[in-house]
A and B are shown apart, each in its own frame.
Chain A
Amino acid sequence: MIVRRMYSVPERITMFSAGAAAIAAVYPAIMAHTGGQGIPCPLRTLTGVPCPFCGLTTAAAALTHGQWTVAASTSPLACLVTVMAIGTAPVLAARILGLAPSPRPASDRTRRLVTRSAYVIVALNWLFQLHRYGFT
């Protein structure tokens, strides 16, 4: 299946990441002011087992403050997405400014490869989170 979009998936993830970074930059201050404990993971709250995406908020806040080692030790996935977003940003900027044409649809083979790679990366990050929380 080939779907044409105005922005590619990496570009949309980059746009989302920019918004998330803006919130993550002020998130620690908001939590300190309100005394909140952050956004709990429902799976971890109910079962005690972390999900593959646990630590993203903490890592995002660390990244916005330049704390790459803290971010990497909390969620390598967040660092990977950040690197991807930084690499995609120039293309996105060109697209927004009308300097680049609409992206070409990826082939089915490419989509399958990227999807499977994403599953592998998420699975590895989940193992990392399980280890971080003492399950392995």
Chain B
Amino acid sequence: MAYSGTPSYSAVPSSQYSSWIMRVGAYLVDTVPIWAALIVVYIIEAIIGSTIVDILLGLILFVAILGYTVYNRWILGGQGQTIGKKMLGIKLVSEETGQPIGSMNAFIRDICHIVDSIICYIGFLFPLWDAKRQTIADKIMKTVVTPA
């Protein structure tokens, strides 16, 4: 008999986890504005060729990327969907409540991605074989990514 879920106390049915490729796609969409800004700054610096302008543009770029990260990864992400996740139709929720995890937990989860990275970034591949499609950071923070 087909068995499509698992008896558990999780608020998310086990058959509802988003695939690795969807998560990667959402992340790539999230990085598009950063790459666009980097390219624009690179072109301006190449045209102007001034050290003072390079430093100034570098500072502006740093602040812009930081602001974008705070807004996209931690504010929007804490509400469940970054820009990329919204476009791909997936969301980040607590495994236990099924609800968004909030900005502080989204920030802590990003810090936990250090654990995913430390061993040759293998933690980011865990969703390929993990039953709940979780990275190590997701396991630490008890989060899952599901279809929206």
On A, residues with C-beta under 8 Å from B are 1-4, 9, 12-13, 15-16, 39, 41-43, 51-54, 56, 105
Choose among A2, A3, A9, A53 the residue with the greatest number of B CB atoms under 10 Å from its CB. A3
Partner of A2, one of B3, B117, B119, B120: B3
A-B contact count (CB 8 A): 51
Nearest CB in chain A to that of B13: its residue: A3
In the complex where A9-B129, A16-B20 touch, is A1 in contact with B120 (Cβ < 8 A)? no
Q: Report the Cα distance A4→B128, complex, angstroms.
A: 14
Choose among B3, B128, B129 the residue with the greatest number of A CB atoms under 10 Å from its CB. B129
Provide the residues of chain B in CB contact with A53, threshold 8 Å. 119-120, 122
Provide the residues of chain A in CB contact with B6, threshold 8 Å. 1-3
Q: Does B52 contact A (CB under 8 A)?
A: no
Q: Does B4 contact A (CB under 8 A)?
A: yes
Please determine whether B4 and A4 come into contact, CB atoms closer than 8 angstroms. Answer: yes
Please determine whether A1 and B20 come into contact, CB atoms closer than 8 angstroms. Answer: no
Please determine whether B118 and A42 come into contact, CB atoms closer than 8 angstroms. Answer: yes
Q: Report the Cα distance A51→B115, complex, angstroms.
A: 13
Provide the residues of chain B in CB contact with A4, threshold 8 Å. 2-5, 15
On B, residues with C-beta under 8 Å from A are 2-6, 8, 14-15, 19-21, 117-122, 125, 128-129, 131
Q: Report the Cα distance A56→B17, complex, angstroms.
A: 28
CB distance from A16 to the nearest CB of B (A): 6
CB distance from A82 to the nearest CB of B (A): 16
Q: Report the Cα distance A1→B128, complex, angstroms.
A: 17
Please determine whether B4 and A51 come into contact, CB atoms closer than 8 angstroms. Answer: no
Q: Report the Cα distance A41→B121, complex, angstroms.
A: 8
Q: Report the Cα distance A9→B5, complex, angstroms.
A: 16
Provide the residues of chain A in CB contact with B129, threshold 8 Å. 9, 12-13
Known: A1-B131, A51-B122, A56-B120. 7 other contacts (CB 8 A): A1-B14, A4-B4, A4-B15, A13-B129, A39-B121, A42-B119, A52-B120
In the complex where A4-B3, A16-B20 touch, is A42 in contact with B131 (Cβ < 8 A)? no
Please determine whether A3 and B118 come into contact, CB atoms closer than 8 angstroms. Answer: no
